[in-house]
Structure 1
């Protein structure tokens, strides 16, 4: 697990932030955990989010770009599990590059909750479900909200 050394993010001043979650539909059990972790983190800081579902991880960037136009932060959640063809590498690269581009082009924080795993076991371990070792949906949300608060202060 790569969670070693992860920071503890304290979130203060999230009031009034507009947040959206864009989540892929593949791998329902894992996605339910990721979305649940994101929603729990938002509830804890008193922020409600718009949830938008897309077909798969490849579609995350284009919808995140649209949501970034009207929200202070966007949480992008998806899971790609390696198969026996190069498709895994193409989709991982496209989704990652696309989400990075959205953040830089829009100036809106994009919480990176895209799991790129070798197998189902790795995805479940990161999904934030009972028995999971990590909650990447929560982590992506905390990072995006923290960054949105920092940007709001810098822009004030």
Structure 2
């Protein structure tokens, strides 16, 4: 695992509405990821945080989509997928990654990607932000989401309005 070159992010997230969508599989890892995300959002001063738990990582994109439709300024997606003996790992990882990426690009709403894709439990535990872990991917994902909102608003203050309008049109055309 490499942490070399990671930026130090300090941002002011006061006034932001952030939704954390978190899978339920692998309770110990998920508890660590969620704690790290909450800590980062507290450090950034984000006052309005909603946590939505879904069964697994495959369900993260639909929950994130609803969060955006409900007005979230940013979403933090947390999950863990452990490689097994079948291609299921590849399908779930690809679906979660593509779904979250598409949502963010389509709507202009940042999605912090905190989905661990690991070969084994030890790798997941090492990234979960637990005592003895070398990484804290929940914290990193939340920081990234807030920092991206702040950067976009500073550089393009009206960009979130245009993205949300396109999303509303998409939502209406699909009857959501």
Report the TM-score when normalising by structure 1. Answer: 0.97
Question: What SS does the aligned partner of 2:8 have?
Answer: coil
Cα contact 2:129–2:137 (8 A) shared by 1: yes
Q: Distance in 2 between matches of 1:50 and 1:149?
A: 19
Q: CA deviation at 1:2?
A: 2.3
Question: What SS does the aligned partner of 1:3 have?
Answer: coil
Q: CA deviation at 1:105?
A: 1.0
Over alpha carbons, which structure has the higher Rg? 2
Q: CA deviation at 1:131?
A: 0.5
Q: CA deviation at 1:50?
A: 0.1
Cα contact 2:18–2:46 (8 A) shared by 1: yes
Q: CA deviation at 1:47?
A: 1.1
1:62-92 Cα distance to aligned partner (Å, 9 max, x none):
1101101211000000000000000000100
Aligned length in residues? 155
Structural mapping, 1:113-128, within 5 Å: 113-128=114-129
Runs of 4+ in 1 over 3 A off after TM superposition: none
Pair 1:52 & 2:55 matched: no
Cα contact 2:20–2:51 (8 A) shared by 1: yes
Q: CA deviation at 1:19?
A: 0.4
1:3-29 Cα distance to aligned partner (Å, 9 max, x none):
2211111213x1101100000000000
Question: What SS does the aligned partner of 2:132 have?
Answer: coil
Pair 1:9 & 2:6 matched: no
Cα contact 1:65–1:106 (8 A) shared by 2: no
Q: Distance in 1 between matches of 2:21 and 2:144?
A: 15
Q: Distance in 2 between matches of 1:151 and 1:81?
A: 33
Which stretch of the first structure deviates more once superposed, 45-54 or 19-28?
45-54
Cα contact 2:24–2:55 (8 A) shared by 1: yes
Structure 1 residue ranges without an equivalent (≥5): none
Q: Distance in 2 between matches of 1:122 and 1:80?
A: 11
Please report the RMSD computed on the Cα atoms of aligned residues, expressed in angstroms: 0.9
Structural mapping, 1:54-93, within 5 Å: 54-69=54-69, 70-93=71-94
Q: Distance in 2 between matches of 1:73 and 1:52?
A: 13
